[in-house]
A and B are shown apart, each in its own frame.
Chain A
Amino acid sequence: MSLVSDVSTLDKPGSASTAARGRRSRGRYLPYYLAIAPFFVVFAVFWCYPLVYSLFLSFQRWDGIGPMQFVGLANYRFLVTDPAFWTSMLNTLIIWIMSVIPMTILALLIALGLNSTIRFTGLYRIAYFIPNVTSIVAMSLVFSSIFSEQFGILNWVLGAVGVDPVPWLSNPWGIKTAISVLIIWRWVGYNAIIFLAGLQAIPDEVLEAARVDGASPVQTFFRVTLPLLRPVLLFSVLMSAIGGMQVFAESQVLVGNRGGPDQAGLTMVLYFYDQAFYYNDFGYGAAISWGIFLVVVIFVVINWRLIQRPGRREDAR
């Protein structure tokens, strides 16, 4: 909200001036506009144009080479009656839930640990952040060795402690678990660093006051630290939702383009990729991408409501 008021005050002098002054000041601002132009040019060419074009494409049948054929809403009709699309949507949501909850808890624990370590803090931070900048395909290949059913390290370890091997990459829930673990591994460090920043922003006075009042460490955590971390937690959940809706490479490398048995690893973006770039059905691919867009919008609205609600309660108080 503060952003909006700032902009309006900035606008005021311009709008109050005469037309001549407006023209001159517009000329005066030209270098500034030019200075920010590169971003907008790139944005227009590489974002806006493909966006509009994909909408156009979603009404066509096109194999990528020959002439396009206008098919009206046929792609969308096919989309809403396509069980694979609904499966992919459900899979995406399930995988997101399966990854975001353990990841947040784990990241919080790591952040608390990092916050209380005295030595080598920089080293730990780098160590936890490294998974996030590692090539995702390389990681997925490593994970497919770990989860390999008959010869994987994980099943070997399970066997060593007397547990029956789990068919990680052929059982539908095994596949979802494997993908979730890969996502958790990749993002837990990133979120831990963000939580750590949040923890360090909590003033010592508050924590000291809690200690003076006789609060136990557990009470301090749940009554003081966690509430104060709320904005950071919300940020992390929101970011993970944006990432979670776009899960693709993890599934593709672990179970292949088709999503594995029972399409258990078929995420929305993987299905889009499969149709558009593997089978070259570009019209339908574009329709899927707009379907994904709608799902994401609904998701964002839900998230936004969740974030807004406590704020309103505070206002009412």
Chain B
Amino acid sequence: MTLTRRAFLTAALGAATLSASTLTAAGCASPTTASPGRLTLWYSKDGLSDTVLADAVQRFPADRLNLTPIGDGLKHRLLAAMSGGAYLPDITMLGDDIASYFADADQFVDLNTVGAGALKSQYLPWKWDSGTTEDGHMIGFPIDIGPSALYYRHDLFAQAGFPSEPDDVAAEVPTWDDYFRFGQELLRALPGRYLLPDTKMVFTYSMAQQPVKYFDRQNHYLGDQGHVRAAWDRALRAFDLGLTAGYGGAQDQGQSVDRHAAWNAGKELSFVNACWITGELKQSAPGTAGSWRVCRSPGGAGNQGGSYLAITRYCPRPQEAFAVVSWLLSPENQPRAYLDAGLFPSSPSAFGDPRLLEPEPFFGGQATMAVFARSATDVKPAYFSPWDITISDTYTDELKNVELAGKDPVQAWADAQNKVNRLLQHQGVI
């Protein structure tokens, strides 16, 4: 058959019409949820345990779970689906910026209406409350938390003749001031090293230990007040005392080339961080296995990070969805998630699980769970506003300007205040 131009054009016309009509038909019928008749679950890769998920598929055959792991940018996809009102997940993961969804809590099922209240006593109260709006609409069910502790190099502390066992170190550095004094002496014995990575770390974890963050419950801005200023001054003191490394380049999780190198070279003697960094530490500095220990953080318990599962209001069967959510995150499954994916349990009953209290070779046989569990239990409940992350970033940006670009600290504080005020005015908060 010879293909004439007319035949070709006719065929093309037919194909175009056909595809156009299918597109239109599909467009009209675009489903509200991503896979009607099934329960779709969106989660970040490594945000839930794969083995627990695999069991859930077996356990809830009627729901025909559609598991969608999302590598990066789950929030972007969620916002796109929500503004389009189509292809929405039934269940979705939300990050520690959950407060930024509170203004739109009506987009999510109030988990109290599907029986969450009965499970409340099984979870850490501060974590539970952080997924609930001020007027009691519970949108997020606790997945994991990020209790903080002091990570330090046991071998180098001992080599310098300093206290090196976790209890001794914790007793030596109950406050940040003690920690800095200890660090100064330590650095005299171990020159050419750093006590801690940067001012941002001091500021972030000082704030994480506070019962009040940047706003009170009536949404009044508190950032220009004592506790924020104290965290700021403390961060700058660490810098002035020459305790910080001040790494350059992107410092997002897993991206800091200099820091990984410092870990491997034994240059970074200690740092305060939430437990989720253990994975990165093990992966990036395998050669330091056995040298690290963990103890109570100077300044006390704090939490940084942690996620939630939420059910969107478009989910046709919220009751069934909640059954899946509460099973996935049940106190019985949380130890598995910790062992499988490093997700720290949000249910205190998991803290005593013998599997989690096994000695860890990376920490020289220490069972770090005991330290983190203590920190997790002691975290003070706090109110988070939708703007907390932006505000925190503004402060730590200015700290970075002082630390790395030689900016005048007085000017930096004034600029931070100015920027936050502009931001809040722009957002219509003040």
Tell me the A residues contacting B by CB distance below 8 Å: 31-32, 34-35, 37-38, 61, 63-66, 69, 74, 78, 82, 144-145, 147-152, 167-172, 174, 252-258, 260-264, 277, 279-281, 284
Contact = CB atoms under 8 A, between A and B. Distances in A.
Given A38-B16, A61-B427, A150 B258 contact: yes
A87 B209 CA distance: 34
A63 B103 contact: yes
A143 B404 CA distance: 20
A71 to B, nearest CB: 8
A261 B400 contact: yes
A-B complex: 4 closest residue pairs judged by Cβ atoms: A170-B248, A169-B248, A151-B261, A169-B249
Nearest to A263: B397
Given A169-B249, A277-B76, A65 B265 contact: no
B141 to A, nearest CB: 19
| Interface size bracket, B side | 35 or more
Contacts of B22: none
Interface of B: 9-10, 12-13, 16, 75-76, 79, 82-83, 100-101, 103-104, 107, 246-252, 255, 257-258, 261-262, 265, 267, 386, 389-390, 393, 397, 400-401, 403-405, 407, 422, 426-428
Looking at chain B's contact residues, the main secondary structure is helix
Contact of A31 (B12, B251, B252, B265): B12
A152 B9 CA distance: 60
Nearest to A255: B250
A257 B251 CA distance: 10
Nearest to B251: A256
A148 B249 contact: yes
Contact of B404 (A78, A145, A167): A167
Given A34-B16, A149-B258, A65 B249 contact: no
Contacts of B247: 149-150, 170
B391 to A, nearest CB: 11
Contact of A144 (B100, B101, B257): B257
B248 A168 contact: yes
A172 B404 CA distance: 9
Given A34-B13, A262-B401, A145 B257 contact: yes
Contacts of B75: 280
Contacts of A66: 103-104, 107
Nearest to B396: A258
A152 B257 contact: yes
B85 to A, nearest CB: 11
A263 B412 CA distance: 13
B104 A63 contact: yes
A261 B397 CA distance: 7
Contacts of A254: 249-250
A50 to B, nearest CB: 12
Contacts of B407: 262
